[in-house]
Structure 1
Amino acid sequence: MLESVADHGVAATELAHDAGISPATVSHHVSILRKARLLSACRAGKAVRHSVTPLGLALLGGHPAAPSGRLA
């Protein structure tokens, strides 16, 4: 799911459609990823757009989350 969000911010309904799973399942997974600080969310009108945090990007092999190379 992190890879699906990494390119651009997406709404849960878009993730559900792309993954072929229910919006309720996506919401559950997004909630867990937000609690782990791997995703962040911001409201865009009626939708909530999810995006990957620096920590999430580091786990995907992107830029490091902390200058020491350790994950924060």
Structure 2
Amino acid sequence: SQNSAEPWMAEPKRPMDGPKERVLDNPPPDVPTPILKRKRKMLESFVNFRHFIVLSRKIGQLRYVLILRS
């Protein structure tokens, strides 16, 4: 009959606390950690010693780095 639900028929899913994409709406602040500071200093000293040109641009969450030899 129409009144009895089949066991495979689940009720529609309800949203939990909102879409998961909202977690990424506000990215964390760009705060360098001591390890990142050390890596940046090592890269800068290498680049200066070897006469490289570094072009860096941050787009959204990602940082793109282009290294050219002069």
- TM-score, structure 2 normalization: 0.30
Instruction: Choose between structure 1 and 2 for higher RCO, CA contacts under 8 A separated by at least 6 residues.
Output: 1
Larger Rg belongs to:
2
Q: Which structure: greater helix fraction?
A: 1
